[in-house]
């Protein structure tokens, strides 16, 4: 894809196309937008990325990406220390925080168990979670993992690791059913059948 604009621009496009949701064409558009809006976009974004590269790390308690360590959530004395919400990734944590329904703390596993992709328990932050439940006064662990095969396999594995601790910790799962505002016609059969069986 030689376009005669120099290797720096081609390299910029190649790297932008590695971002999720950007293909070669949208990466070219993004590169052009950056180069045309040098002062308003290219330089501020470069600085923001440099800042992130310098300051963001994983919280040593929960594993969340943050510029503080421990992260703001773990360090906040106002949050319930007895509840831990287990999520796959930071994106799920961010979604929970936007909703604002949970006032406890989090644990970011950093992925899901997958025989296919070769992700084993030791590749995830499971030992750290077991340690937190063993040593803290945790009463409830909420599994907010995806409702996929990998998500549920991981939830069961984690629950099996927590139960033998024998300190009466309750393990709960997010409810499953019809999404709020969801039309049955657009839902998959599995969700409808599950929602029907669990009707109340």
- Tell me how many degrees the CA angle 31-32-36 measures, rounded to the nearest 5: 120
Least spacing, CB of residue 79 vs a copy of itself, in Å? 10
Sequence length of the chain is 200
Closer to a copy of itself at the Cβ: 72 or 184?
Answer: 72
Euclidean distance between CA atoms 69 and 71, whole angstroms: 5
Query: Which parts of 13-72 interact with a copy of itself (CB under 8 A)?
Result: 15-16, 18-22, 26, 28-36, 38, 41-46, 48-53, 55-56, 64-68, 71-72
Euclidean distance between CA atoms 10 and 53, whole angstroms: 23
Closer to a copy of itself at the Cβ: 89 or 140?
Answer: 89
Is 124 a binder of a copy of itself (CB under 8 A)? no
Nearest to 177 by CA among 152, 195, 161, 197: 195
Which sign, positive or negative, has the C-alpha torsion 37, 40, 43, 49?
negative
Residues within the interface to a copy of itself (CB under 8 A): 1-9, 11-12, 15-16, 18-22, 26, 28-36, 38, 41-46, 48-53, 55-56, 64-68, 71-73, 89-91, 93-94, 97-98
């Amino acid at each position: 894809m030689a376009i005669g604009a120099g290797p720096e621009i081609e390299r910029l496009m190649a790297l932008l196309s590695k971002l999720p949701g950007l293909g070669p064409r949208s990466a070219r558009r993004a590169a052009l937008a950056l180069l045309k809006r040098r002062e308003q976009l290219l330089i501020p974004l470069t600085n923001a990325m440099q800042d992130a590269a310098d300051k963001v790390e994983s919280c040593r308690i929960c594993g969340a990406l943050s510029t503080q360590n421990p992260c703001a959530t773990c360090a906040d004395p106002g949050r319930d220390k007895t509840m831990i919400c287990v999520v796959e990734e930071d994106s799920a944590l961010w979604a929970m925080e936007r909703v604002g329904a949970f006032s406890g703390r989090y644990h970011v596993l950093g992925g899901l168990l997958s025989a296919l992709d070769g992700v084993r328990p030791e590749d995830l932050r499971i030992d750290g979670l077991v340690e937190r439940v063993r040593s803290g006064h945790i009463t409830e662990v909420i599994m907010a993992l995806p409702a996929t095969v990998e998500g549920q396999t991981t939830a069961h594995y984690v629950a099996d690791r927590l139960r033998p601790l024998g300190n009466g910790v309750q393990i709960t799962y997010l409810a499953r059913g019809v999404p709020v505002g969801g039309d049955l016609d657009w839902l998959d059969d599995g969700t409808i059948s599950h929602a029907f069986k669990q009707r109340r």
